[in-house]
Structure 1
Amino acid sequence: MQPKVEEHEVLAIQVSRSNGGSRTFKFNDGYEEVIINKIVNWINTSSSAERPTELELNQTPLSKIKIRMKNGEIATIEPAYHCIYEKQAKNCILADGEVILTKSKIKVRLNSVELFDWLLVGWKFESVGAPKEELLEETLYTRYFNYLNNTYSDFIMCPAIDKIERINGDTRRHIIHASALNYGAHHGDVPYDRIRITLTDTPEEGVEINRVITEKAVSRKESLLQCRRGN
Protein backbone atom coordinates (compact mmCIF):
# COMPACT_ATOMS: atom_id res chain seq x y z
CA MET A 1 0.00 0.00 0.00
CA GLN A 2 1.29 3.45 -0.91
CA PRO A 3 1.52 5.52 2.31
CA LYS A 4 -0.12 8.94 2.36
CA VAL A 5 1.01 12.11 4.12
CA GLU A 6 -1.58 14.45 5.64
CA GLU A 7 -0.81 18.18 5.53
CA HIS A 8 -1.79 18.73 9.16
CA GLU A 9 0.63 15.98 10.28
CA VAL A 10 3.72 17.78 8.99
CA LEU A 11 5.89 19.92 11.26
CA ALA A 12 8.71 20.72 8.81
CA ILE A 13 10.42 19.55 5.63
CA GLN A 14 14.21 19.57 5.34
CA VAL A 15 16.01 19.00 2.06
CA SER A 16 19.77 18.56 1.75
CA ARG A 17 22.37 17.61 -0.87
CA SER A 18 25.32 15.30 -0.23
CA ASN A 19 27.73 17.85 -1.73
CA GLY A 20 26.49 20.65 0.51
CA GLY A 21 23.52 22.92 0.87
CA SER A 22 20.25 22.45 2.75
CA ARG A 23 17.04 24.24 3.63
CA THR A 24 14.19 23.74 6.08
CA PHE A 25 10.55 24.68 5.42
CA LYS A 26 8.43 25.05 8.58
CA PHE A 27 4.69 24.47 8.82
CA ASN A 28 4.21 27.34 11.27
CA ASP A 29 5.52 29.82 8.69
CA GLY A 30 2.52 31.05 6.74
CA TYR A 31 4.46 31.31 3.48
CA GLU A 32 6.41 28.05 3.79
CA GLU A 33 3.26 26.16 4.78
CA VAL A 34 2.06 26.58 1.20
CA ILE A 35 5.31 25.02 -0.07
CA ILE A 36 4.89 22.08 2.32
CA ASN A 37 1.32 21.57 1.11
CA LYS A 38 2.60 21.50 -2.47
CA ILE A 39 5.10 18.73 -1.63
CA VAL A 40 2.46 16.73 0.25
CA ASN A 41 0.07 17.00 -2.70
CA TRP A 42 2.76 15.71 -5.08
CA ILE A 43 3.35 12.72 -2.79
CA ASN A 44 -0.31 11.84 -2.51
CA THR A 45 -1.11 12.23 -6.21
CA SER A 46 1.94 10.32 -7.51
CA SER A 47 1.64 6.80 -8.90
CA SER A 48 3.55 3.71 -7.82
CA ALA A 49 6.47 2.48 -9.93
CA GLU A 50 6.76 -1.31 -9.98
CA ARG A 51 10.53 -1.36 -9.68
CA PRO A 52 13.04 -2.06 -6.86
CA THR A 53 12.92 0.21 -3.82
CA GLU A 54 16.38 -0.61 -2.49
CA LEU A 55 18.98 1.83 -3.79
CA GLU A 56 21.78 -0.74 -3.67
CA LEU A 57 24.30 2.10 -3.60
CA ASN A 58 27.48 2.40 -1.60
CA GLN A 59 27.35 6.20 -1.45
CA THR A 60 25.08 8.73 0.20
CA PRO A 61 22.06 9.69 -1.97
CA LEU A 62 22.59 12.80 -4.08
CA SER A 63 19.69 14.58 -2.37
CA LYS A 64 17.29 13.70 0.43
CA ILE A 65 14.08 15.11 1.89
CA LYS A 66 13.22 14.55 5.55
CA ILE A 67 9.58 15.12 6.47
CA ARG A 68 9.26 15.65 10.22
CA MET A 69 5.83 14.80 11.59
CA LYS A 70 4.21 16.35 14.65
CA ASN A 71 4.15 12.90 16.30
CA GLY A 72 7.95 12.58 16.00
CA GLU A 73 7.96 10.29 12.97
CA ILE A 74 10.31 11.06 10.08
CA ALA A 75 9.53 10.13 6.48
CA THR A 76 12.16 10.41 3.74
CA ILE A 77 12.25 10.90 -0.01
CA GLU A 78 15.32 9.99 -2.07
CA PRO A 79 15.99 9.83 -5.80
CA ALA A 80 15.54 6.41 -7.39
CA TYR A 81 18.17 4.71 -9.54
CA HIS A 82 18.31 2.18 -12.34
CA CYS A 83 21.10 -0.36 -11.80
CA ILE A 84 22.45 -2.54 -14.62
CA TYR A 85 24.80 -5.49 -14.14
CA GLU A 86 27.33 -6.11 -16.91
CA LYS A 87 30.20 -8.56 -16.61
CA GLN A 88 29.89 -8.70 -12.84
CA ALA A 89 30.05 -4.89 -12.64
CA LYS A 90 27.12 -2.73 -11.47
CA ASN A 91 26.36 0.60 -13.12
CA CYS A 92 23.67 2.80 -11.49
CA ILE A 93 22.18 5.96 -12.97
CA LEU A 94 19.41 8.28 -11.76
CA ALA A 95 15.92 7.15 -12.74
CA ASP A 96 14.46 10.30 -14.25
CA GLY A 97 11.16 11.28 -12.65
CA GLU A 98 11.22 8.58 -9.94
CA VAL A 99 11.73 8.83 -6.17
CA ILE A 100 11.62 6.47 -3.20
CA LEU A 101 9.36 7.35 -0.25
CA THR A 102 9.92 5.72 3.14
CA LYS A 103 7.19 6.21 5.77
CA SER A 104 6.19 4.09 8.76
CA LYS A 105 8.74 1.44 7.69
CA ILE A 106 7.01 1.16 4.30
CA LYS A 107 9.16 1.89 1.26
CA VAL A 108 7.60 2.62 -2.13
CA ARG A 109 8.92 3.81 -5.47
CA LEU A 110 6.90 6.66 -6.98
CA ASN A 111 6.54 8.26 -10.39
CA SER A 112 6.61 12.03 -9.86
CA VAL A 113 8.50 14.40 -12.14
CA GLU A 114 7.58 17.29 -9.82
CA LEU A 115 9.02 15.62 -6.71
CA PHE A 116 12.11 14.45 -8.59
CA ASP A 117 12.87 17.91 -9.99
CA TRP A 118 12.18 19.67 -6.67
CA LEU A 119 14.35 17.18 -4.76
CA LEU A 120 17.34 17.75 -7.04
CA VAL A 121 17.19 21.51 -7.72
CA GLY A 122 13.72 23.03 -7.31
CA TRP A 123 13.99 23.72 -3.57
CA LYS A 124 16.86 26.12 -4.20
CA PHE A 125 14.58 28.43 -6.16
CA GLU A 126 11.76 28.73 -3.64
CA SER A 127 11.45 32.34 -2.55
CA VAL A 128 12.62 33.24 0.94
CA GLY A 129 9.54 34.90 2.38
CA ALA A 130 6.80 36.54 0.38
CA PRO A 131 7.75 38.52 -2.75
CA LYS A 132 7.42 42.31 -2.65
CA GLU A 133 4.25 42.21 -4.76
CA GLU A 134 2.52 39.92 -2.26
CA LEU A 135 3.55 42.12 0.66
CA LEU A 136 2.11 45.18 -1.08
CA GLU A 137 -1.16 43.34 -1.67
CA GLU A 138 -1.29 42.25 1.97
CA THR A 139 -0.71 45.83 3.09
CA LEU A 140 -3.54 47.15 0.93
CA TYR A 141 -5.86 44.31 1.92
CA THR A 142 -5.20 44.93 5.63
CA ARG A 143 -6.13 48.59 5.19
CA TYR A 144 -9.45 47.71 3.54
CA PHE A 145 -10.13 44.66 5.74
CA ASN A 146 -10.47 46.96 8.76
CA TYR A 147 -13.65 48.39 7.23
CA LEU A 148 -15.43 45.00 7.26
CA ASN A 149 -17.55 43.91 10.20
CA ASN A 150 -16.71 40.93 12.43
CA THR A 151 -18.71 38.56 10.22
CA TYR A 152 -15.65 38.30 7.98
CA SER A 153 -12.92 38.33 10.66
CA ASP A 154 -11.63 34.87 9.62
CA PHE A 155 -10.94 35.84 5.98
CA ILE A 156 -7.24 36.68 6.27
CA MET A 157 -5.64 33.79 4.35
CA CYS A 158 -3.86 34.53 1.05
CA PRO A 159 -5.27 38.06 0.59
CA ALA A 160 -5.14 39.43 -2.94
CA ILE A 161 -5.92 42.68 -4.71
CA ASP A 162 -7.49 41.23 -7.84
CA LYS A 163 -8.09 44.46 -9.73
CA ILE A 164 -7.76 48.24 -9.35
CA GLU A 165 -9.63 50.66 -11.59
CA ARG A 166 -9.34 54.44 -11.74
CA ILE A 167 -12.61 56.33 -11.44
CA ASN A 168 -12.94 58.51 -14.54
CA GLY A 169 -9.18 58.32 -15.02
CA ASP A 170 -8.46 60.10 -11.71
CA THR A 171 -5.28 58.78 -10.06
CA ARG A 172 -6.68 59.63 -6.59
CA ARG A 173 -9.96 57.73 -6.89
CA HIS A 174 -10.19 54.00 -7.32
CA ILE A 175 -12.47 50.99 -7.38
CA ILE A 176 -10.80 48.04 -5.64
CA HIS A 177 -11.59 44.35 -6.07
CA ALA A 178 -10.06 42.19 -3.32
CA SER A 179 -10.38 38.59 -2.08
CA ALA A 180 -9.12 36.20 0.61
CA LEU A 181 -9.66 32.72 2.07
CA ASN A 182 -10.83 31.84 5.56
CA TYR A 183 -7.96 31.01 7.90
CA GLY A 184 -10.03 28.46 9.81
CA ALA A 185 -9.75 25.94 6.94
CA HIS A 186 -5.95 26.08 6.64
CA HIS A 187 -5.47 22.68 8.34
CA GLY A 188 -7.06 21.02 5.33
CA ASP A 189 -9.96 19.31 7.13
CA VAL A 190 -12.56 21.19 5.08
CA PRO A 191 -12.40 23.21 1.84
CA TYR A 192 -11.68 26.93 2.00
CA ASP A 193 -14.38 29.57 1.70
CA ARG A 194 -13.54 32.85 -0.03
CA ILE A 195 -14.82 36.40 0.16
CA ARG A 196 -14.75 38.86 -2.70
CA ILE A 197 -14.88 42.55 -1.83
CA THR A 198 -15.67 45.51 -4.07
CA LEU A 199 -15.02 48.98 -2.64
CA THR A 200 -14.27 52.56 -3.58
CA ASP A 201 -11.42 54.66 -2.18
CA THR A 202 -11.64 58.41 -2.76
CA PRO A 203 -10.32 61.55 -0.99
CA GLU A 204 -13.85 62.83 -0.37
CA GLU A 205 -15.59 59.73 0.98
CA GLY A 206 -12.64 57.63 2.07
CA VAL A 207 -13.15 53.85 1.90
CA GLU A 208 -16.66 52.62 1.16
CA ILE A 209 -17.49 48.91 0.99
CA ASN A 210 -19.89 48.42 -1.93
CA ARG A 211 -20.22 44.64 -2.04
CA VAL A 212 -19.04 41.54 -0.17
CA ILE A 213 -19.90 38.03 -1.37
CA THR A 214 -18.88 34.66 0.07
CA GLU A 215 -18.00 31.66 -2.09
CA LYS A 216 -18.43 28.41 -0.18
CA ALA A 217 -16.08 25.41 -0.52
CA VAL A 218 -13.82 26.62 -3.33
CA SER A 219 -11.91 23.89 -5.15
CA ARG A 220 -8.34 22.97 -4.30
CA LYS A 221 -7.25 24.36 -7.66
CA GLU A 222 -8.90 27.70 -6.90
CA SER A 223 -7.42 27.88 -3.40
CA LEU A 224 -3.92 27.23 -4.81
CA LEU A 225 -4.44 29.97 -7.39
CA GLN A 226 -5.59 32.31 -4.63
CA CYS A 227 -2.36 31.58 -2.74
CA ARG A 228 -0.31 32.11 -5.95
CA ARG A 229 0.64 28.43 -6.11
CA GLY A 230 -1.57 27.32 -8.96
CA ASN A 231 1.20 26.44 -11.42
Structure 2
Amino acid sequence: MRKLAIFVIVIVELLSPIQLVKANIQPKLKTEDILFIQVNRLYGGTRVFKESDGYEEVIINKIVNWINTSSPSEGITKFDKTPIVAVMKLIMKNGDVAVIEPAYNCISENQVKTCTIADSEVIYTGNNKKVRLKSLELYDWLLAGWKYESYGAPKDELLEELLYTRYFSYLDETNSDFIMCPKIDKVERINGDTRRHIVHASALNYGAHHGDIPYDRIHISLTDIPEKGVKINKVTIQKAISEKESRIQCRREG
Protein backbone atom coordinates (compact mmCIF):
# COMPACT_ATOMS: atom_id res chain seq x y z
CA MET A 1 0.00 0.00 0.00
CA ARG A 2 2.82 2.35 0.90
CA LYS A 3 4.54 1.71 -2.45
CA LEU A 4 1.29 2.49 -4.25
CA ALA A 5 0.94 5.78 -2.35
CA ILE A 6 4.49 6.81 -3.26
CA PHE A 7 3.85 5.90 -6.90
CA VAL A 8 0.69 8.02 -6.97
CA ILE A 9 2.51 11.00 -5.42
CA VAL A 10 5.29 10.78 -8.01
CA ILE A 11 2.79 10.61 -10.87
CA VAL A 12 0.83 13.58 -9.51
CA GLU A 13 3.99 15.66 -9.20
CA LEU A 14 5.15 14.78 -12.70
CA LEU A 15 1.79 15.65 -14.24
CA SER A 16 0.99 18.73 -12.16
CA PRO A 17 0.61 22.02 -14.11
CA ILE A 18 3.52 23.61 -12.23
CA GLN A 19 5.93 20.87 -13.28
CA LEU A 20 4.73 21.03 -16.87
CA VAL A 21 5.24 24.80 -16.97
CA LYS A 22 8.73 24.52 -15.52
CA ALA A 23 9.64 21.90 -18.10
CA ASN A 24 8.61 24.07 -21.02
CA ILE A 25 9.24 27.69 -20.12
CA GLN A 26 13.03 27.82 -20.24
CA PRO A 27 14.39 28.12 -23.80
CA LYS A 28 17.64 26.26 -24.48
CA LEU A 29 19.65 27.44 -27.46
CA LYS A 30 23.00 26.62 -29.06
CA THR A 31 25.18 29.21 -30.76
CA GLU A 32 25.86 26.89 -33.69
CA ASP A 33 22.10 26.69 -34.43
CA ILE A 34 21.86 30.45 -35.04
CA LEU A 35 22.53 31.98 -38.47
CA PHE A 36 22.43 35.60 -37.33
CA ILE A 37 20.89 37.99 -34.81
CA GLN A 38 19.24 41.24 -35.87
CA VAL A 39 18.45 44.05 -33.44
CA ASN A 40 16.13 46.99 -34.20
CA ARG A 41 15.25 50.01 -32.11
CA LEU A 42 12.22 52.23 -32.65
CA TYR A 43 14.66 55.15 -32.59
CA GLY A 44 18.32 54.32 -32.94
CA GLY A 45 19.04 52.12 -35.93
CA THR A 46 19.65 48.43 -36.47
CA ARG A 47 22.52 45.94 -36.51
CA VAL A 48 23.14 42.34 -37.58
CA PHE A 49 25.49 39.88 -35.82
CA LYS A 50 26.50 36.87 -37.95
CA GLU A 51 27.50 33.45 -36.65
CA SER A 52 29.93 33.11 -39.56
CA ASP A 53 31.96 36.07 -38.26
CA GLY A 54 34.53 34.87 -35.70
CA TYR A 55 34.20 37.94 -33.50
CA GLU A 56 30.43 38.30 -33.77
CA GLU A 57 30.06 34.59 -32.95
CA VAL A 58 31.46 35.43 -29.52
CA ILE A 59 28.75 38.09 -29.11
CA ILE A 60 26.04 35.62 -30.18
CA ASN A 61 27.42 33.10 -27.70
CA LYS A 62 27.08 35.73 -24.98
CA ILE A 63 23.44 36.37 -25.88
CA VAL A 64 22.67 32.63 -25.97
CA ASN A 65 24.23 32.20 -22.54
CA TRP A 66 22.10 35.02 -21.11
CA ILE A 67 18.95 33.47 -22.56
CA ASN A 68 19.76 29.99 -21.29
CA THR A 69 20.63 31.21 -17.78
CA SER A 70 17.76 33.70 -17.41
CA SER A 71 15.08 33.16 -14.79
CA PRO A 72 11.38 32.57 -15.54
CA SER A 73 9.23 35.52 -14.47
CA GLU A 74 5.55 35.77 -13.67
CA GLY A 75 3.42 38.24 -15.55
CA ILE A 76 1.52 38.76 -18.76
CA THR A 77 3.21 38.02 -22.09
CA LYS A 78 0.76 39.68 -24.50
CA PHE A 79 0.30 43.43 -24.65
CA ASP A 80 -2.03 45.70 -26.59
CA LYS A 81 -0.93 49.05 -28.00
CA THR A 82 2.47 49.10 -26.30
CA PRO A 83 5.34 50.73 -28.21
CA ILE A 84 7.95 48.38 -29.65
CA VAL A 85 10.97 50.11 -28.14
CA ALA A 86 13.39 47.42 -29.32
CA VAL A 87 13.20 43.95 -30.80
CA MET A 88 15.78 41.22 -31.34
CA LYS A 89 15.31 38.45 -33.91
CA LEU A 90 17.28 35.22 -33.74
CA ILE A 91 17.31 33.65 -37.20
CA MET A 92 18.02 29.92 -36.94
CA LYS A 93 19.79 27.83 -39.57
CA ASN A 94 16.71 25.61 -39.87
CA GLY A 95 14.55 28.62 -40.81
CA ASP A 96 12.91 29.16 -37.41
CA VAL A 97 12.81 32.66 -35.93
CA ALA A 98 12.80 33.55 -32.24
CA VAL A 99 11.96 37.07 -31.05
CA ILE A 100 12.96 38.92 -27.90
CA GLU A 101 11.32 42.20 -26.86
CA PRO A 102 10.89 44.15 -23.62
CA ALA A 103 8.21 43.03 -21.15
CA TYR A 104 5.63 45.41 -19.67
CA ASN A 105 3.76 45.76 -16.41
CA CYS A 106 0.19 46.99 -16.87
CA ILE A 107 -2.37 48.37 -14.45
CA SER A 108 -6.01 49.40 -15.01
CA GLU A 109 -7.60 52.34 -13.21
CA ASN A 110 -10.97 53.88 -14.07
CA GLN A 111 -11.14 51.77 -17.20
CA VAL A 112 -7.81 53.18 -18.36
CA LYS A 113 -4.95 50.72 -18.89
CA THR A 114 -1.41 51.96 -18.37
CA CYS A 115 1.67 49.91 -19.28
CA THR A 116 5.31 50.61 -18.42
CA ILE A 117 8.45 48.68 -19.33
CA ALA A 118 9.33 46.03 -16.73
CA ASP A 119 12.90 46.55 -15.55
CA SER A 120 15.23 43.60 -16.36
CA GLU A 121 12.45 41.53 -18.01
CA VAL A 122 11.91 40.44 -21.61
CA ILE A 123 9.47 38.34 -23.61
CA TYR A 124 10.95 35.43 -25.57
CA THR A 125 8.81 34.10 -28.42
CA GLY A 126 9.80 30.82 -30.03
CA ASN A 127 8.03 27.72 -31.34
CA ASN A 128 4.71 29.63 -31.12
CA LYS A 129 5.14 30.10 -27.35
CA LYS A 130 5.73 33.26 -25.36
CA VAL A 131 7.87 33.15 -22.23
CA ARG A 132 8.58 35.96 -19.80
CA LEU A 133 12.20 35.96 -18.62
CA LYS A 134 14.24 37.97 -16.15
CA SER A 135 17.81 38.86 -17.12
CA LEU A 136 19.39 42.23 -16.44
CA GLU A 137 22.21 41.59 -18.94
CA LEU A 138 19.84 40.59 -21.74
CA TYR A 139 17.49 43.50 -20.99
CA ASP A 140 20.30 46.09 -20.97
CA TRP A 141 21.86 44.70 -24.16
CA LEU A 142 18.51 44.72 -25.99
CA LEU A 143 17.78 48.34 -25.11
CA ALA A 144 21.23 49.82 -25.63
CA GLY A 145 24.21 47.48 -25.18
CA TRP A 146 24.30 46.19 -28.77
CA LYS A 147 25.05 49.70 -30.05
CA TYR A 148 28.37 49.70 -28.17
CA GLU A 149 29.69 46.35 -29.40
CA SER A 150 32.92 46.79 -31.33
CA TYR A 151 33.07 46.16 -35.05
CA GLY A 152 35.62 43.38 -35.27
CA ALA A 153 37.97 42.13 -32.58
CA PRO A 154 39.50 44.72 -30.22
CA LYS A 155 43.04 45.85 -31.00
CA ASP A 156 44.59 44.13 -27.99
CA GLU A 157 43.00 40.82 -29.00
CA LEU A 158 44.34 41.15 -32.55
CA LEU A 159 47.84 41.89 -31.19
CA GLU A 160 47.68 38.76 -29.03
CA GLU A 161 46.71 36.67 -32.06
CA LEU A 162 49.54 38.22 -34.08
CA LEU A 163 52.15 37.46 -31.41
CA TYR A 164 50.86 33.94 -30.84
CA THR A 165 51.03 33.22 -34.58
CA ARG A 166 54.68 34.30 -34.55
CA TYR A 167 55.55 32.05 -31.64
CA PHE A 168 53.38 29.15 -32.81
CA SER A 169 55.81 28.38 -35.63
CA TYR A 170 58.45 27.40 -33.04
CA LEU A 171 56.31 24.67 -31.49
CA ASP A 172 56.73 20.99 -32.20
CA GLU A 173 54.34 19.56 -34.82
CA THR A 174 52.71 17.41 -32.16
CA ASN A 175 51.16 20.61 -30.79
CA SER A 176 49.90 21.89 -34.15
CA ASP A 177 46.24 21.60 -33.08
CA PHE A 178 46.54 24.31 -30.42
CA ILE A 179 45.41 27.26 -32.50
CA MET A 180 42.05 28.20 -30.95
CA CYS A 181 41.51 31.28 -28.75
CA PRO A 182 45.22 32.18 -28.42
CA LYS A 183 46.19 34.50 -25.57
CA ILE A 184 49.33 36.19 -24.37
CA ASP A 185 48.89 35.68 -20.65
CA LYS A 186 51.93 37.55 -19.41
CA VAL A 187 54.96 39.43 -20.75
CA GLU A 188 58.00 40.23 -18.58
CA ARG A 189 61.03 42.32 -19.45
CA ILE A 190 64.39 40.64 -18.91
CA ASN A 191 66.41 42.82 -16.52
CA GLY A 192 64.27 45.80 -17.50
CA ASP A 193 65.37 45.66 -21.15
CA THR A 194 62.56 46.77 -23.46
CA ARG A 195 63.90 44.55 -26.28
CA ARG A 196 64.15 41.28 -24.36
CA HIS A 197 61.15 39.49 -22.96
CA ILE A 198 59.85 36.36 -21.31
CA VAL A 199 56.44 35.51 -22.76
CA HIS A 200 53.73 33.22 -21.38
CA ALA A 201 51.08 32.20 -23.92
CA SER A 202 48.18 29.73 -24.10
CA ALA A 203 45.59 28.36 -26.53
CA LEU A 204 42.99 25.59 -26.91
CA ASN A 205 43.01 22.58 -29.21
CA TYR A 206 40.88 23.15 -32.29
CA GLY A 207 39.88 19.48 -32.43
CA ALA A 208 37.46 19.93 -29.51
CA HIS A 209 35.59 22.92 -30.97
CA HIS A 210 32.48 20.86 -31.81
CA GLY A 211 31.80 20.53 -28.09
CA ASP A 212 31.76 16.72 -27.97
CA ILE A 213 34.76 16.57 -25.62
CA PRO A 214 36.36 19.08 -23.22
CA TYR A 215 39.12 21.33 -24.50
CA ASP A 216 42.79 20.81 -23.71
CA ARG A 217 44.90 23.92 -23.17
CA ILE A 218 48.53 24.46 -23.98
CA HIS A 219 50.75 26.69 -21.82
CA ILE A 220 53.93 28.00 -23.41
CA SER A 221 56.83 29.81 -21.76
CA LEU A 222 59.48 31.33 -24.05
CA THR A 223 62.16 33.98 -24.30
CA ASP A 224 62.25 36.49 -27.17
CA ILE A 225 65.68 38.12 -27.54
CA PRO A 226 66.70 39.99 -30.73
CA GLU A 227 70.21 38.54 -31.05
CA LYS A 228 69.15 34.99 -30.13
CA GLY A 229 65.62 34.84 -31.50
CA VAL A 230 62.77 32.90 -29.93
CA LYS A 231 63.48 30.01 -27.59
CA ILE A 232 60.72 27.77 -26.21
CA ASN A 233 61.52 27.14 -22.55
CA LYS A 234 58.57 25.06 -21.39
CA VAL A 235 55.42 23.54 -22.84
CA THR A 236 52.69 21.93 -20.74
CA ILE A 237 49.29 20.55 -21.71
CA GLN A 238 46.36 21.00 -19.36
CA LYS A 239 43.93 18.21 -20.12
CA ALA A 240 40.11 18.51 -20.17
CA ILE A 241 39.65 22.00 -18.76
CA SER A 242 36.22 23.06 -17.51
CA GLU A 243 33.65 24.74 -19.76
CA LYS A 244 33.98 27.93 -17.72
CA GLU A 245 37.76 28.00 -18.21
CA SER A 246 37.39 27.49 -21.96
CA ARG A 247 34.83 30.31 -22.15
CA ILE A 248 37.23 32.63 -20.29
CA GLN A 249 40.07 31.61 -22.61
CA CYS A 250 37.89 32.55 -25.61
CA ARG A 251 36.82 35.85 -23.99
CA ARG A 252 33.22 34.67 -23.71
CA GLU A 253 33.06 35.05 -19.96
CA GLY A 254 34.73 37.45 -17.54
Q: What TM-score, normalized to structure 1?
A: 0.93
SS state of the match for residue 34, structure 1? helix
SS state of the match for residue 39, structure 1? helix
AA matched with 1:49: S
The residue aligned with 1:48 is: 72
The residue aligned with 2:144 is: 121
Q: Give me the whole-angstrom Cα distance separating, in 2, the residues matched to 1:9 and 1:149.
A: 35
Task: Tell me, yes or no, if structure 1 residue 182 matches structure 2 residue 205.
Answer: yes
SS state of the match for residue 156, structure 1? strand
Task: Report percent identity of matched pairs.
Answer: 66
CA separation of 1:47 and 1:206: change in aligned 2, threshold 3 A: same
SS state of the match for residue 138, structure 1? helix
Higher-Rg structure is: 2
- Structure 1 unmatched ranges of 5 or more: none
AA matched with 2:84: P
Q: Give me the whole-angstrom Cα distance separating, in 1, the residues matched to 2:211 and 2:125.
A: 23
The residue aligned with 2:244 is: 221
Could you tell me which of 117, 140, 156 is aligned with 1:133? 156
Task: Tell me, yes or no, if structure 1 residue 7 matches structure 2 residue 31.
Answer: yes
Q: Residues 179 and 197 of structure 1 are in contact (CA less than 8 Å); yes or no, is this contact kept in structure 2?
A: yes
CA separation of 1:190 and 1:25: change in aligned 2, threshold 3 A: farther
Could you tell me which of 73, 88, 98 is aligned with 2:121? 98
Q: Residues 141 and 178 of structure 1 are in contact (CA less than 8 Å); yes or no, is this contact kept in structure 2?
A: yes
Deviation at 1:60, TM superposition (A): 4.7
The residue aligned with 1:37 is: 61
Q: Residues 8 and 187 of structure 1 are in contact (CA less than 8 Å); yes or no, is this contact kept in structure 2?
A: no
CA separation of 1:18 and 1:190: change in aligned 2, threshold 3 A: farther
Name the count of aligned residue pairs: 230
Further displaced range: 110-119 or 168-177: 168-177
CA separation of 1:125 and 1:230: change in aligned 2, threshold 3 A: same
Encode CA deviations 1:10-58: one digit per residue, 9 max, x unaligned: 111111102241111111111111111110011111111121111x232
Task: Tell me, yes or no, if structure 1 residue 169 matches structure 2 residue 192.
Answer: yes
Q: What TM-score, normalized to structure 2?
A: 0.85
Instruction: Choose between structure 1 and 2: higher helix proportion.
Output: 2
Q: Give me the whole-angstrom Cα distance separating, in 2, the residues matched to 1:68 and 1:175.
A: 46
The residue aligned with 2:109 is: 86
Aligned residues: CA RMSD = 1.6
Q: Give me the whole-angstrom Cα distance separating, in 2, the residues matched to 1:69 and 1:187.
A: 18
Q: Residues 82 and 115 of structure 2 are in contact (CA less than 8 Å); yes or no, is this contact kept in structure 1?
A: no
Q: Residues 8 and 188 of structure 1 are in contact (CA less than 8 Å); yes or no, is this contact kept in structure 2?
A: no
Deviation at 1:208, TM superposition (A): 1.3
